[in-house]
Structure 1
């Protein structure tokens, strides 16, 4: 790792003066040069230090750690830089994932986490339930999984498509025998619909959604109990269809294909521990 101490000085000046332009003016340098040197420093360290916006800058967790170092004696700085380098290279420490609740109980996701923690026993994994896009950099998440219909908060994030799927309408035979017949999509107006927040946006607003829940298991169980027609991904209804607990409704109606999106901040500064987890997702979900 070849880090310039001049670049470390400019980094500290940027923080002290509250921005790249102010640091450039204080040191009689062009703004573009200071910005370029900061980028070189990030490349040398292999991690992002600053979150740049039009008006301000914010320190990432790595940036905060480095700023604490730069006031130390040189030998302490070098030791700290070595620790930061080890953090990027080694398969130890912690990874944080943000995922929708429906995915938490899926067999594929469980197998990925089991395999990851078995391969890398020194790693710890934190998983939080988030249905909408999170600010990965500010909230210190390494990865997020979301359905493709969800809007990602930052267009600069890497978005990798995984696991294509389709949703369909399913209901119990008991429900269908005691409710108005379904001959066309318009007949759904006379029925109770059960779906999640993502699929609800795919339906015509004229249809009445009786239950909208992020828990796909709940929606499937309600459909089995005869409480309505569920509009859910096929993978979640397949076992109940095979057992005869549910039947497909309006099978001729074609729904657009969706997919899961794996989201992460940047290819440039990914630690090896995150790369390893991304590869597992690609192996299992593709």
Structure 2
């Protein structure tokens, strides 16, 4: 059974004629008549008695209209509520963020300042999330554009910085080459699938880290304590480099670009809330990272 035909039948009864229904719904009269006839054929009963001057419900039509009208009213109320919610941007966003991604804390605050009726549920993890299974609307990820069940929206790219504290460099000297770098105690970001190498410029060097951890905030603390040379994302390192607590090393040997992406399940049927969040992130991130 065609629900649109049922809804059209309800309108015909409300407006009293095919022509008035045609005018109010912007549907040709011939289409209105054809759909009502198809509905009657599907139901196997006659719903309306037609004459040149008026329409009259049959007994079967009266019984059917009472239930159909309730269903159409409930459906239209649901659509109205949905449209109102979308207009007000209320609801919950289920997000995933990598650990230590400090700038996004401010982004979420700015988003909620603009849209105070939006709630966030945030899963902080560096694992590859199952967007559908974990119920995630949008995941922020560094790299990881290849995902069989996700669309990737590129926000930008940035380079990590190789940094050490002045106190550590007083002990070991400022490295002028990759060979000098290997003489300084180092710590690095690590997961079971992450190798103990740094790609610096065109060179890939094997390092022997004394500490490995999948937490850049931990690495920042270790660098500030003067214990290790390490790599840090620019949003964690820049302030400390500017105030002299850390020194950026071997600038002629830059780390490769790291891409920042939003992952979401599909381009189709995205809610206005999710679309607004994606656009907000795109605008917000324009000047966030320097490459």
What is the TM-score of this pair, normalised by structure 1?
Answer: 0.65
Which ranges of 4 or more aligned residues in structure 1 deviate by more than 4 Å? 2-5, 73-78, 84-89, 198-202
Structure 1 residues 116 and 235: alpha-carbon distance in aligned structure 2, compared to 1, 3 A threshold: closer
Residue 101 of structure 1: SS of its match in structure 2?
Answer: coil
User: Which residue of structure 2 lines up, in the alignment, with residue 172 of structure 1?
Assistant: 165
For 2:97 and 2:119, how far apart are their aligned partners in 1? 16
How far residue 254 of structure 1 moved from its aligned partner, in angstroms, is: 2.2
User: Which residue of structure 1 lines up, in the alignment, with residue 33 of structure 2?
Assistant: none
1:119 aligns with 2:114: yes
Structure 1 residues 159 and 179: alpha-carbon distance in aligned structure 2, compared to 1, 3 A threshold: same
For 1:84 and 1:265, how far apart are their aligned partners in 2? 24
For 1:217 and 1:276, how far apart are their aligned partners in 2? 30
User: Which residue of structure 1 lines up, in the alignment, with residue 51 of structure 2?
Assistant: none
For 2:238 and 2:140, how far apart are their aligned partners in 1? 22
For 2:91 and 2:243, how far apart are their aligned partners in 1? 43
1:185 aligns with 2:178: yes
User: Which residue of structure 1 lines up, in the alignment, with residue 134 of structure 2?
Assistant: 139
Structure 1 residues 92 and 81: alpha-carbon distance in aligned structure 2, compared to 1, 3 A threshold: same
Q: Is the 8 A contact 1:95 1:142 kept in 2?
A: yes
Pick the structure with greater CA Rg.
2
Q: Is the 8 A contact 1:102 1:214 kept in 2?
A: no
Superposition map of 1:197-212 within 5 A: 197=190, 201=195, 203=198, 206-212=206-212
For 1:147 and 1:85, how far apart are their aligned partners in 2? 39
1:224 aligns with 2:217: no
How far residue 145 of structure 1 moved from its aligned partner, in angstroms, is: 0.4
User: Which residue of structure 2 lines up, in the alignment, with residue 255 of structure 1?
Assistant: 255
Structure 1 residues 237 and 181: alpha-carbon distance in aligned structure 2, compared to 1, 3 A threshold: closer
- Of 173, 180, 187, 1:194 maps to 187
What is the count of residue pairs matched by the alignment? 214
Residue 206 of structure 2: SS of its match in structure 1?
Answer: coil
How far residue 76 of structure 1 moved from its aligned partner, in angstroms, is: 5.6
Structure 1 residues 83 and 285: alpha-carbon distance in aligned structure 2, compared to 1, 3 A threshold: same
How far residue 158 of structure 1 moved from its aligned partner, in angstroms, is: 1.2
| Farther-moved stretch of structure 1 (83-92 vs 171-180) | 83-92
**Unaligned stretches of 5+ in structure 1?**
6-72
Residue 102 of structure 1: SS of its match in structure 2?
Answer: coil
Q: Is the 8 A contact 1:162 1:285 kept in 2?
A: yes
What is the TM-score of this pair, normalised by structure 2?
Answer: 0.64
For 2:246 and 2:130, how far apart are their aligned partners in 1? 39
How far residue 200 of structure 1 moved from its aligned partner, in angstroms, is: 5.4
**Unaligned stretches of 5+ in structure 2?**
6-66, 199-203, 287-291
Superposition map of 1:18-167 within 5 A: 75=70, 79=74, 83=78, 86-87=81-82, 90=86, 91-103=89-101, 105-106=102-103, 109-148=104-143, 150=144, 152=146, 154-167=147-160
For 1:92 and 1:190, how far apart are their aligned partners in 2? 55
Post-superposition CA distance 1:128-159 (Å, at most 9, x none): 102122111122110000111x365x324110
